[in-house]
Copies of this chain bind each other. A is one copy, B any other.
């Protein structure tokens, strides 16, 4: 592996984890500890991280989707979440993807007589005290920064479920309708979710057009409905409409207050 590539990966790891000991860095990068140390001193000198005895800590804010996204685009997200909540009927089983938009939706689902299945640990925290909601957690390894469950256990758990409705989150939607995600490890989970639901609803605030992401989750043909803001790119929405997707665009300003 090229050194530049390795440096990129190291910084990515560190952004996700916050702090990492040298041994674990070497292990994750597949190099010796000596090389890991060399990389660390390089990146420390370049000001990309802070070296500490025994490892390194991320410089700047740790990549925490929840903290980072919490402030920005909140009104739009809540408008989407409220509209999504209105489509859920009592008695249904809904499957909630990871992310902040689905967390917002979970808040709007409090007190409803429904079953919620999720790999979103933030949703678990939100609904764990609600006696009305039957809460089902998918299994899997805990990813602390993303507050999610991933891994083969999650996928196999999804194989045993069938939900009335899936609310899918995303990190970005391309103009041609491809739905993206940033982290590779979540992709198989999301795809297993798609297969485990009768009705697939994509939640995407205006900022998700085009948003970010490198891994493809699915295309418009896999989606039944899309709930988004009116500020979203009209061209992309048209692509979804042409693919037969029921598109609902709610205005953040009108709906955005509580």
Taking Cβ atoms with an 8 Å cutoff, the residues of A that contact B are: 2-5, 8, 17-19, 21, 52-55, 57, 121, 124, 128-129, 131, 134-142, 144, 149, 151-154, 156-157, 160-161
Contact = CB atoms under 8 A, between A and B. Distances in A.
B142 A139 contact: no
Contact of A131 (B5, B144, B156): B144
Contacts of A5: 19
Nearest to A57: B4
A231 B121 CA distance: 40
Contacts of A134: 141-142
Contact of A128 (B21, B129, B137, B142): B142
A58 to B, nearest CB: 11
Given A4-B19, A4-B57, A157-B153, A139 B137 contact: yes
B160 A153 contact: yes
Closest 6 CB pairs of A and B: A139-B139, A135-B142, A139-B157, A138-B139, A136-B141, A2-B55
Given A157-B153, A157-B157, A137 B136 contact: no
A135 B161 CA distance: 23
14 contacts: A3-B52, A3-B53, A3-B54, A17-B131, A129-B144, A134-B141, A135-B142, A136-B141, A137-B137, A137-B149, A138-B139, A138-B153, A152-B160, A153-B160
A interface SS class: mixed
Contact of A136 (B18, B135, B153): B153
A218 to B, nearest CB: 23
Contacts of A3: 52-54
Contacts of A140: 136-137, 139
Contacts of A151: 136
A249 to B, nearest CB: 34
Contacts of A18: 131
A142 B153 CA distance: 17
Contact of A157 (B131, B135, B144, B156): B156
Contact of A4 (B52, B138, B153, B160): B52
Contacts of A129: 144
Given A128-B144, A137-B140, 8 more contacts: A8-B19, A19-B131, A131-B144, A136-B153, A137-B139, A139-B157, A153-B161, A157-B157
